[in-house]
Structure 1
Amino acid sequence: MTLRLPLPESNKGIAACSLVISLVALGLKYAAWAVSGSVALYSDAVETIINVVAAVGGLWALAVSERPADHNHTYGHYKAEYLSAVAEGTLVLVTAFIIGREAVEGWLHPHPALAPYAGVALNGIATLVNLGWGLTMLQAGRARRSPALVAGGQHVLSDVWTGVGLVVGILLIPLTGWVRLDAVLAGLIALNVLRVGWNVMKDSIAGLMDQAPDPETLDQIREVIADNGRGAIEAHDIRTRVVGAMTFLDFHLVVPGSMSVHDAHEICDRIENALRGKMGNTLVHIHVEPDNKAKHEGIVFWPRPETPVSNKA
């Protein structure tokens, strides 16, 4: 099922909404811990504090990434989103340490929850809020190719699984009489937080290191070039990277040596326009070469170069 919630047009607006919702979830989870005294619910509330801090960082990063290119950043500010995601991953790891310490303390000095059912009810409401917003953020981040929104959505959804586990686990404590189950649940929360933090940092570091996009995206790029390169001989040395919502692409385009600059430029324009239509925001650099530079690899236009697109000199 796909959510169809109305969203702000800018990614920065979505991040602002995320901050507000994180504060609402934090209030509910703090109340859940306050009425129950559960170490597991305390751990969940601590994790939500990191969500609030991460939402502030995401809002800053998206505000920076939307700035136009300037003389100091001629390729734009898109990588600010990755910096935010790496910072969020680091905060998540710190949170896991804090929660793990509380879990050990709860195991060594267990005590029964004061009002487990009231705490579970409040935590359950916060979990439903996170479920709706986490799915919305994840869908918006993927559709808009925003690393900061995707990382935020993944982090919020990790809270959902934590919330479900807490609801089930804390309800079992009075039924089983095993008070240390509270500490076990806190320990499992810490492990889940570590997993999410590692995934967020891994994806963000890959973006900072200009990792090539997935094979499906590369196939789409090659298909667009092949479909719109009529008149050329081949395209080789294709390189691409995706930074936030921007795709950077460069390659060599071999054309007949006798082709005019005008005709070669028209082929380049046709390819660039098709790539932007398919990929969205795309910065394309095409190095045009004569036929004696052909490598007979990459994309070879078959069966032979067609008549130039125009006869203008």
Structure 2
Amino acid sequence: MKFIAVILYKFAIKQNNLHQQRKIILISLITGILLMAAKFTAYFLTQSNFILTDAAESIVNVLASGFAFFSIYLAERPKDSNHPYGHGKVEFFSVFVEGVLITIAGIAIITKAGYGIFHPNEIHNILLGASIIGVTGLINGLLGWYLIKKGKILNSITLDADGRHLITDMVTSAGLVVGLALIFFTKITALDNILSILVGGFIIFTGYKLTRKAIGGLMDEADFKIVDHVISVLNDKRKEEWIDVHNLRAQKYGNELHIDCHITLPNYFDLNRVHQEVHLVDVLINDHVSIKTELFIHSDPCVPACCHYCSMPNCPIRSEAKTKDIEWTMDNVTRNKKHFE
């Protein structure tokens, strides 16, 4: 009965997290549409390519938020025969699309600004345009900070990526305001296109980082920060019965973690005791690692060569006394061999 209650509790938490993610992304989408309209208004008032860089990027914000909303909807679908690990990896694809769109926007901005160097146009209402961009940048910064904070709490790469994109947009907007002020006071209109090219380069770099992160997730690249945290928990809470843990591999699927590992147990334990120890490892990880984790644990029997680092008291089959303690580290826990090999 207690096991069923725990399962229902975890399911309720997951559903609540997904509901919060959908609500937050919807707020981001609506805000993005309103700010995009404001930025394009500033562009039409000023005819500044520099302002157009921010307006063009806002289109990406809206498209990315819309796709993120869809990806979170898809990620919450339960596991099925075609997707035995769930649909969480769609979040990485969402981040990939966002990164590609940002990169395309950066290339378009540089192309437009490069054309403007040879075919300059007159700029109007610079201070009004700077004021509009400054306000939109502040709003994006506050929303981005909120998304990153919630992304960490809810373990959502989509919220985190969207938030970092908005923080980048805020930095871009701040640079825009400074640049527009320089143009206004120096009267050097060529700065409009030169600064646009610099901002476009920064946007392309941001797009590259997001794309790189998404490809790493889609390719099951190891998240060493999460793995190190899991190993730290196992090391701190290890039991005498757990002789060693090895061949540990972790994969992230959306806001869930999947872990495969082997655990060496005394070879005289019966199946009931083995199941109990494996279950305790599962409970330990899910109680202390801040992400819902599914574990597939293979149990290995101990062999005489394990005795010199085994802490099991009153062992009836011990062939030699314990002579050393082996700390579980990234190196020995991730290798596919017992710690004496």
TM-score (norm. length: structure 1): 0.89
Q: For 2:124, what is the secondary structure of its paired residue? A: coil
Q: Do the aligned partners of 1:224 and 1:271 also contact (CA within 8 Å) in 2?
A: no
Matched, 1:166 2:155: no
Q: Do the aligned partners of 1:229 and 1:301 also contact (CA within 8 Å) in 2?
A: no
Taking the aligned partners of 2:288 and 2:265, their CA distance within structure 1 comes to 24
Q: Do the aligned partners of 1:8 and 1:14 also contact (CA within 8 Å) in 2?
A: no
Deviation at 1:72, TM superposition (A): 1.3
Q: Do the aligned partners of 1:147 and 1:204 also contact (CA within 8 Å) in 2?
A: no
Q: Do the aligned partners of 1:86 and 1:201 also contact (CA within 8 Å) in 2?
A: yes
Q: Do the aligned partners of 2:243 and 2:310 also contact (CA within 8 Å) in 1?
A: no
Deviation at 1:10, TM superposition (A): 2.2
Unpaired segments ≥5 residues, structure 1: 1-6, 309-313
Match of 2:296 among 272, 285, 288: 285
Match of 2:204 among 184, 187, 194: 194
Deviation at 1:246, TM superposition (A): 1.0
Q: How many residues align?
A: 297
Q: Do the aligned partners of 2:87 and 2:253 also contact (CA within 8 Å) in 1?
A: no
Deviation at 1:306, TM superposition (A): 4.1
**Equivalence for 2:72:** 62
* Over 4 Å off, 4+ runs: 300-303
Deviation at 1:48, TM superposition (A): 0.5
**Equivalence for 1:126:** 136
Deviation at 1:220, TM superposition (A): 2.4
Taking the aligned partners of 2:295 and 2:74, their CA distance within structure 1 comes to 23
Deviation at 1:210, TM superposition (A): 0.8
Unpaired segments ≥5 residues, structure 2: 1-16, 316-341
Matched, 1:219 2:219: no
RMSD, aligned CA? 2.0
Quick one: structure 1 residues 230 and 39, their matched pair in 2 at CA, closer, same or farther if it must change by over 3 Å?
A: same
Quick one: structure 1 residues 65 and 35, their matched pair in 2 at CA, closer, same or farther if it must change by over 3 Å?
A: same
Deviation at 1:192, TM superposition (A): 1.2
Q: Deviations over 1:16-48 (max 9, x none)?
A: 111011112101111111111111111210110
What pairs with 1:1-313 in structure 2 (closer than 5 Å)? 9-214=19-224, 216-226=225-235, 227-279=237-289, 280-292=291-303, 303-306=310-313
TM-score (norm. length: structure 2): 0.82
Q: Sequence identity, in percent?
A: 27
Q: Deviations over 1:269-309 (max 9, x none)?
A: 111001011223101011112113x885xxx996522469x
Quick one: structure 1 residues 130 and 228, their matched pair in 2 at CA, closer, same or farther if it must change by over 3 Å?
A: same
Taking the aligned partners of 2:133 and 2:120, their CA distance within structure 1 comes to 21
